[in-house]
A and B are shown apart, each in its own frame.
Chain A
Amino acid sequence: MFIIKYKKIFLSLSIILIIVSVVFTFTYGLKPGIDFKGGALLEVSYTGVRPDASLLEAGIKTLDINQSLIQPTGDSGYIIKTRDLNETEHEALVKALSLDGKYTVTEKSFTSIGPSVGSELTRKAIVSISMVILAIIIFITYAFRQVSRPVASWKYGVITIVTLLHDIIIPTGIFALLSYYSGAEVDTLFVLALLTILGLSVHDKIVVFDRIRENLRTGDKRSFAETVGISTSQTIVRSINITLTIIFVLVPLYLFGPETTKNFALILTIGLFFGIYSSLFFASPLLVFVEEWQARGKK
């Protein structure tokens, strides 16, 4: 199996990808959305021609709202982002947007989130990601308990987690790069996308590991590296096909789906791609690498 033969190349490639993604994440940075830092988001549409953004900005300046960000949306609408607003401020803002009645404004959606709700969400996001990862280690250790030789079953769990980190760090880096240009923000759906990537990617790793488990049990006197190689090549078509079917549903979701889930579908597609890549080209080589490293230690 060429993947095992050239495992050092594939392992280095993955490590480079991870480093590049981490660099992207830190240089471009992730902008927290109002879900996390609190704030208000108002989407309005105008009947007929929408007024110039500078007019609106001047109108909003007269209110006591400090900073606001005005983005055009669609043909006749704007999205306005500000600090969190109470009801009176909200009404004043809508009134200001109509330029005191000169334009007809329809409010399509309004969200105002207090900063404490945001910090609570951050905490929830961190806790849920950690809980999912922990549960996966425990489950894999349990599911593979019968295969403790030559690699202990908990190591399968740890390797899965290392590859899962690979699978979420890379999309995060790409997202940081994209958001630098598109202004996309990290919201609940972004966290949800990462969590779904975790779920789907572990699903995939289990299928490969399951085959290794089976081949180890029935296998003759093949070396561990050979067994892993055979198992990976036996599951490669399935892995590619299942990723394809999920991408077949994600692409329409991105192209035609609701506006709110567009970024979600995009990150998931990227994550799935790297998830399948890591199942084949990162997890298996890593497993063999660990086994060989162990064997060397014993001698």
Chain B
Amino acid sequence: MIKKIILAVIILVLGASVAFFVYKSEPKLNNNFETSAAFFKKFPFRLGLDLSGGSHLIYKADVSAVPAGEVTSSMDALRDVIERRVNLFGVSEPVVQVQHGGLISGGGEQLIVDLPGVTDVKKAVEMIGQTPVLEFKTEAPKNATQNVAVGKDGKVNIDLNSQFVSTELTGRYLQKAILEFDQNTREPKVSLQFNDAGTKLFDQITKDNIGKTVAIFLDGAPISTPVVREEIPNGQAVISGNFTPSEAKLLVGRLNSGALPVPITLLSTQTIGATLGESAVNAGVKAAIIGFLLVALFLILWYRLPGLIAVLALSLYTAILLAIFKLLPVTLTAAGIGGFIISLGMAVDANVLIFERMKEEIRKGHNIVDGIHAGFSRAWPSVRDSNTSSIITSIILFWLGTPLIKGFALTFGLGVLVSMFSAITISRIFLYALGIEKSNAFTKFLFGSGFKNLN
């Protein structure tokens, strides 16, 4: 008996600490959040775009030119490039996902980009679509036609573009770009390292153009026009073009992120303002609290003492599930919160099954202790089978679903799993710990339900 009570106390303490963790790690609940330990700060709820505000973009990738066997790898490369570009933009926790086409999901190869907090779609789309075009050009032959324009102030401008001719060497042959500072002038400069093919090309270009200008063009405009002094065989070049440090840093990032391996087109965009998301969160929380209270009230009124225990189990269920949402972490969306709220109603299902069964067994002539035991063991097959079907459903939904359906399936499925533990194990431990052994009018009232007492 004492063992059972100790076990119940341990569960209560553990449950309370889980609840404390959920409370402490939530900025909105914990007033001293800023001064809390770093441990708690690591686990706020992760809100989906529809709740936190942000942009959701779906791109179609044109993989028609890619050989069938290389589609997956080129899509992964595409994702990496886009991810690097998005990271440059300073978005916190962006999500870039590849969605493969197939028989079941249909559609072609797609790339899904989630940018929390970014509500300026135009800027986001531009940033993602931007490919820095780096070109190396050599001086045009002297006899080539030059475009000359006479400016309004009477000056003669020679179009720089017509002074140079393109070479084969472009940003494609770049291995990496590094930000450096000039040792003497402290000016930022970008140093480039070509790959093997690029090194050979650069070697040839410098060899042929000693004493001439080799212009470096970025996005069609010359940014640096150095004169070649000697042949450069090691594939290293430096752009020093009056950059500010941040410009140079951005350029390095853009050069390193490279060109897109497959062309993409924007299929759909979705932007949610932050205020809309916030009001949805508040509404969801309000609905969850009211729902919880209604269920608790019903359980206590209808099932009396076991009902009270079911409410305790439901509280622990809520704490455990919320902690799992934080730890995994699960990205919460409006549909996900809906799934969580429904799971509050579902979680007591096993309790209801067990309590109804308990009552029946006691009525059949078992004493209360045997009734509790029989209730748990006899209700188990139906708890198992009904929950298994719910889990199967949520797995299929998670597997096939769109992001919205996935969010729902995940919270709902986790809820079913946790509820099997809370409604069966936790409520059993508490019921046994009560140590009710005698069957008298009072205990029969406590274990009665609805409008009838057991007799």
Tell me, yes or no, whether A50 is within 8 Å of chain B by CB.
no
Tell me, yes or no, whether B114 is within 8 Å of chain A by CB.
no
Tell me the smallest distance from the CB of A170 to a CB of chain B, in Å. Answer: 19
Residues of A contacting B352 in the complex (Cβ-Cβ under 8 angstroms): 238, 241-242, 245
Query: B65-73, B244-252, B335-343: which one contacts chain A?
Result: B335-343
B393 in contact with A132 (CB, 8 Å): yes
Query: A10-18, A19-27, A260-268, A284-292: which one contacts chain B?
Result: A260-268
CA distance A191 to B409 in the complex (A): 13
B382 in contact with A211 (CB, 8 Å): yes
CA distance A116 to B59 in the complex (A): 11
Q: Residue of B at shortest CB range from A193?
A: B338
Which of B125, B270, B279, B396 has the most chain A CB atoms inside 10 A of its CB?
Answer: B396
B287 in contact with A257 (CB, 8 Å): yes
Residues of B contacting A259 in the complex (Cβ-Cβ under 8 angstroms): 280, 283
CA distance A100 to B385 in the complex (A): 62
Residues of A contacting B404 in the complex (Cβ-Cβ under 8 angstroms): 188-189, 192
Contact of B338 among A124, A200, A204, A257 (CB under 8 A): A257
Tell me, yes or no, whether A199 is within 8 Å of chain B by CB.
yes
A207 in contact with B283 (CB, 8 Å): no
Tell me the smallest distance from the CB of B424 to a CB of chain A, in Å. Answer: 15
Tell me, yes or no, whether B107 is within 8 Å of chain A by CB.
yes
Q: A202-B389, A207-B382, A260-B280 are contacts. A91–B122 as well, Cβ < 8 Å?
A: yes
Q: Residue of A at shortest CB range from B266?
A: A86
Tell me, yes or no, whether A139 is within 8 Å of chain B by CB.
yes
Which of A87, A107, A128, A268 has the most chain B CB atoms inside 10 A of its CB?
Answer: A128
Residues of B contacting A213 in the complex (Cβ-Cβ under 8 angstroms): 381
A43 in contact with B287 (CB, 8 Å): no
B396 in contact with A135 (CB, 8 Å): yes
A198 in contact with B402 (CB, 8 Å): no
- Which residues of A in the span 245-293 have a Cβ within 8 Å of any Cβ on B? 245-253, 255-261, 264-265, 268
Tell me, yes or no, whether B433 is within 8 Å of chain A by CB.
no
CA distance A93 to B58 in the complex (A): 21
Contact of A207 among B271, B291, B353 (CB under 8 A): B353
B344 in contact with A249 (CB, 8 Å): yes
Q: Residue of A at shortest CB range from B413?
A: A199
Q: How many residues of A contact B (CB 8 A)?
A: 75
Tell me the smallest distance from the CB of A186 to a CB of chain B, in Å. Answer: 14
Contacts between the two chains (Cβ within 8 Å), count: 234
A234 in contact with B272 (CB, 8 Å): no
B280 in contact with A258 (CB, 8 Å): yes
- Which residues of B in the span 362-408 have a Cβ within 8 Å of any Cβ on A? 378, 381-382, 385-390, 392-394, 396-397, 400-402, 404-405, 408
Q: A110-B269, A112-B270 are contacts. A245–B389 as well, Cβ < 8 Å?
A: no
Q: A109-B273, A120-B105 are contacts. A206–B382 as well, Cβ < 8 Å?
A: yes
A120 in contact with B283 (CB, 8 Å): no
Residues of A contacting B284 in the complex (Cβ-Cβ under 8 angstroms): 257-258, 261
Query: B167-175, B186-194, B201-209, B294-302: which one contacts chain A?
Result: B294-302
Contact of B287 among A90, A206, A234, A252 (CB under 8 A): A252
Tell me the smallest distance from the CB of A204 to a CB of chain B, in Å. Answer: 8
A109 in contact with B294 (CB, 8 Å): no
Tell me the smallest distance from the CB of B189 to a CB of chain A, in Å. Answer: 35
A106 in contact with B273 (CB, 8 Å): yes
Contact of B349 among A128, A203, A257 (CB under 8 A): A203
Tell me the smallest distance from the CB of A242 to a CB of chain B, in Å. Answer: 5
Other contacts beyond A109-B273, A268-B342: 14, CB < 8 A: A87-B122, A87-B125, A87-B266, A116-B60, A139-B388, A235-B356, A238-B356, A241-B356, A250-B341, A252-B291, A257-B287, A258-B280, A258-B283, A261-B337
11 A–B pairs (Cβ distance < 8 Å), ordered by A:
A111-B269, A111-B271, A132-B393, A136-B392, A199-B390, A210-B382, A248-B298, A252-B290, A252-B291, A261-B284, A261-B335
Q: Which residue numbers of A lie inside 8 Å of B, CB to CB?
A: 43, 84, 86-87, 90-91, 106-114, 116-117, 119-121, 123-124, 127-128, 131-132, 135-136, 139-140, 143, 188-189, 191-192, 195-196, 198-200, 202-204, 206-207, 210-211, 213-214, 234-235, 237-238, 241-242, 244-253, 255-261, 264-265, 268
